[in-house]
Amino acid sequence: MEGSDDTIDLLLCVDGSENSVRAAEHAAMLAKASNGQITLLTVLKPDEAEAMDWKNILEEDSAENISRIGGALVVIQKEGAEYVISVQVGDPAEVIMEMAPNYDAVIMGYKGHGFLQDTLMGSITRKVIHGAEVPVTLVP
């Protein structure tokens, strides 16, 4: 865990969904309350990365142009939470689990499916909650 006793460093995983925006609201609240920092992470699959010039977008400080980040970034900036942006390429669950030990917690949006949610939970979410070495918070 990277944070000191009174701060928390959060890994916020976003995919552009409304659930990601709600997760960003939760992460911003926690980060501000603890003087912590959010790493806003989105993971592109290799074919997605080839289809967009995401490295130049980040270098131009226009990450909101990556639709998967934009909504969550607006929320975090509005709340005044400290953040950094990380765009990675690979298998999302594997990347998240690799990065997780460097943080105090992982926060992810989650779309519940009622009483079947455990059965229908997305494979990325399922892999992360079972494989991450730090607490994982799912925000509906």
Which residue segments constitute the domains of the chain, with CATH numbers given? Answer: 9-139 (3.40.50.620)
Residues (pLDDT < 70) of the chain are 1-5, 52-67, 112-121
For residue 4, what pLDDT is reported? 47
Sign of CA dihedral 5, 96, 82, 110: negative
For residue 1, what pLDDT is reported? 45
In one-letter notation, the amino acid at residue 23 is A
Pairing verdict, β 37-44 and 105-109: unpaired
In one-letter notation, the amino acid at residue 127 is K
Sign of CA dihedral 45, 29, 22, 71: negative
For residue 2, what pLDDT is reported? 47
Rounded to whole angstroms, the Cα distance separating 88 from 1 reads: 21
For residue 53, what pLDDT is reported? 61
For residue 102, what pLDDT is reported? 97
